[in-house]
Amino acid sequence: MSRIGKHPVPVPAGVDVSVNGQQVSAKGKLGSLSLTLIDDITAKLEDGKVVVAPANDSKRARIMWATSRTLINNMVTGVNQGFTINLEINGVGYRAAVQGKELVMQLGYSHDVKYPIPEGITIKCDKPTAISVSGFDKQKVGQVAAEIRGWKKPEPYKGKGIKYDTETIIRKEGKKK
């Protein structure tokens, strides 16, 4: 069984973390985030570290202990460094570009796909076949990247579509005569 919850979350210089009852807030150079913990979890700030502990011995408290610790760690890391997910576009004629507050993608449909960029997220297209999604909220960055990928998921026969740069597409063999 994992014991991630036992490790305190270190607070780097330049990040202000405040614990007010069940409310944990982190403020850094990239922005500010807050999290409300469930009643079964307690958090306190001790000499530059956030210590998360279960309030009682219930099963729910043990389940949410490491989850709460990881969410706090993601908040502290996000406001300090931020998160980035890179996407790759494969396919003839498939490309993307940022125009104003929209990501415009040509994905083989009869029309261009226009994706409005949400608040707090930065999208860059250094090449027409590379998309970089970044921001300070890990959940929001992952959600935006998943929504962009959802417009044209990679298919296993030719590998066409939008995929994460860390993703490996397992290719299938085509029809045989």
CATH number listed for the domain at residues 4-81: 3.90.930.12
Structure confidence at residue 36 (pLDDT): 93
3-state secondary structure (DSSP) of residue 78? helix
pLDDT in tens, the chain (177 residues): 568 888 999 999 989 999 998 899 999 999 899 999 999 899 999 888 999 999 888 899 888 999 999 999 999 999 999 999 999 999 999 999 999 999 999 999 999 999 999 999 999 999 999 999 999 999 999 999 999 999 999 999 998 999 999 999 999 998 888
Residues with Cβ < 8 Å from 135, sequence gap 6 or more?
78, 82, 83, 120, 121, 122, 141, 144
Pairing between β-strand 16-20 and β-strand 23-27 as defined by DSSP bridges? antiparallel
Residues with Cβ < 8 Å from 85, sequence gap 6 or more?
132, 133, 134, 141, 142, 145, 164
DSSP type of residue 5: G
**β-strand partners of 106:** 95
Angle at 111 between CA 164 and CA 170, to 5 degrees: 30
| pTM, rounded to two decimals | 0.88
By the 8 A CB rule, do 164 and 149 touch? yes
Same topology, domains 4-81 and 83-164? Answer is yes
Q: What distance in Å separates the CA atoms of residue 17 and residue 49, rounded to the nearest whole number?
A: 9
Q: Which CATH superfamily is domain 83-164 in?
A: Ribosomal protein L6 (3.90.930.12)
- Which residue reads 């780097």 in tokens? 12
Domain boundaries along the sequence of the chain = 4-81, 83-164
3-state secondary structure (DSSP) of residue 26? strand
By the 8 A CB rule, do 123 and 131 touch? yes
